[in-house]
Amino acid sequence: MLYTVSRSLYYIDTESLLNTVTQSDVLLLLQDGVTAAIAGSAGLNQLMACGAVIYALREDVEARGLLTLMGNDVELIDYQGFVDLTVNHSPQMAW
Tell me: the pLDDT tens digits for 1-32? 999 999 999 999 989 999 999 999 999 999 99
* Domain range list for the chain: 2-94
pLDDT of 71:
86
For the chain, the distance separating the N- and C-terminal CA atoms, rounded to the nearest angstrom, is 13
How many other CB atoms sit within 10 Å of the CB of residue 9?
22
pLDDT tens digits, 50-86: 999 999 999 999 999 999 999 899 999 999 999 999 9
pTM: 0.92
Residue pair 5/12 in contact (Cβ under 8 Å)? The answer is: yes
Task: Please tell me the CATH code under which domain 2-94 is placed.
Answer: 3.40.1260.10
Dist CA 34 CA 30 (whole Å): 5
How far CA 81 is from CA of 39, 58, 91, in Å, comes to 22, 10, 16
